[in-house]
Structure 1
Amino acid sequence: MFKIAIVVFRECLEIALLLGVIMAVTKPVANSRVYIVLGALIGIVLAAIFALSTRAISTSFGGLGDELFDSCVILLTAAIISWTVVWMQGYTKKIKKDLSKLSENITAGLTSQFMLVLVVATAILREGAEIILFVYSVSSVENLEGTKYLIGIGIGAFAGLTVGIALYLGLMKLAGKYVFTISTILLTLIAAGLAAEAAGILTSSGFIEAYSDQLWDTSWFISNESIMGKILNVTMGYDSKPNGMQIAFYLSSILITVSFMKLRSIISNKYHA
């Protein structure tokens, strides 16, 4: 539940910040609020269609290949979360610049207002799709009650939108840096944990046989079923009995995410130099 809340928090934080920036930058555009609301509604509908499509595809597997499908979705979710961490670097400055140009073009009559609808709808669809994929991934590896999913999504959405609005209004300029830093670290570890869980499914089902032997057993110290074990699993992908492939996927995920963050930072610095 906490893992769901963390991811939903980050996605809703992005949505709140993005919509805040869009509303501020496109203020000179006539009826901009109407187009923003229309774009948000279209994005929500498209995200719902995406959710139904994901469900239909998963049930079509019928039983044969369920583990393969689940592991692929989990890996895709881990990749999307990692990319979100990388992509958010310098996000606000870039989006403000792009939206300012879009606003000027709309006001000058060079671009249709429906481009604004498209921008908002695409953003809502992207964040909604990430949430849907992640919740599906969690359901593939954990047996949670329906109420816990709703509670996790509710807490994450409320916290994300609240902090996003507060940050945009300038009430948490100092704290904002730490909010993004902490959530970036947590999301990087959550993505690594998901990658390790996918490796566990692939090795236990026989799709991957290499490095499938258990490396160690720390259940005598912290078991997966204990409260501390569950907290560590949520926050950093802890497993008391990992195999070699799980460790390889876990470390590779962190290495790839950090490497892309460094690369994006280098490129960004050269671009703005």
Structure 2
Amino acid sequence: MLNAQLKAWLDRLNELVAEQKAAGVEATPATVRDSMAAMTRNQVRPGPELPWVGDARVECGETPVPVRLYDPAPDRDTPVCLFFHGGGHMAGSVAVYDPICRRLADASSWLVVSVDYRLAPEYPYPFGLEDCHSVARHLWPVLDAQGRRYQRRLALAGDSGGGTFAATLSALAQNDQRLPVEKQVLIYPSLDYTLNHPSVTENGKGYLLEAERIAWYFQHYFQHGEDRRGASPLFMPVSNRLPETLVISAEYCPLRDEALAYVQRLNDTGVPCRHRHFDDMIHAYLNLESLAPDACAATYREIAAFLNGD
């Protein structure tokens, strides 16, 4: 059953959405970005305070990629978690996800690096993915330049569209000795750009992330007739070289079934995979922490336990 607080909030939201549609209001990239930022700001409190947080730029080609570093233990050599934010490849930013990354670093005691990749439609496929890939390949000199103490142990993490990037890089890393990925964390990830799973229809209206909006995101991301199936992590080759994986899914999420299918593929291949399913949650609940505090706390504990081998 859907969480009661989320249901009450969704009821109000859906009324507002219906009023806007009736008035002919159409979404734009700017309004979507503003909406996600406002939702997160209103529902996720700032903090926690960390010993060291700093911004940097990864020089990896003509366009440097901004990143923000969250070091929970500057006096220790800590493993590194590269984080890719969600937002349908169109919204979200390092600033929007600052409280979420702080919580991740605080809970896990890993050094978290949040990537401010370029967004569609200004920068369609594959610009954002290439930014994330470049940061992963050129990360260590940046940490050195920032005076961070770290272990050369790398995990990839992301929620929603950021989970797409994490899973894609993990797939690429299977055959790239220069990109050793130890673990990946996929939080209600988008793994199938073809949108052919039943949950897209089942949960595609009334649960915040709607099927119509997902299709709109993808239309802005794929602007030149690219092979969407080929770009989908769910259909990329899977071998025992894929990193140990944690998948977090939500019952009322339209992306639920592709997450479950990915877990099944990894299990069938023998890739170590942990799966945590929240049967009363919706997509993007980490951005709605005040409405789902227990689920959010449990999620950060689950990620920390996975990263630390507990």
Q: Flag the structure with higher helix content.
A: 1
Greater strand fraction, Structure 1 or Structure 2: 2
Report the TM-score when normalising by structure 1.
0.23
TM-score, normalising length: structure 2 = 0.21
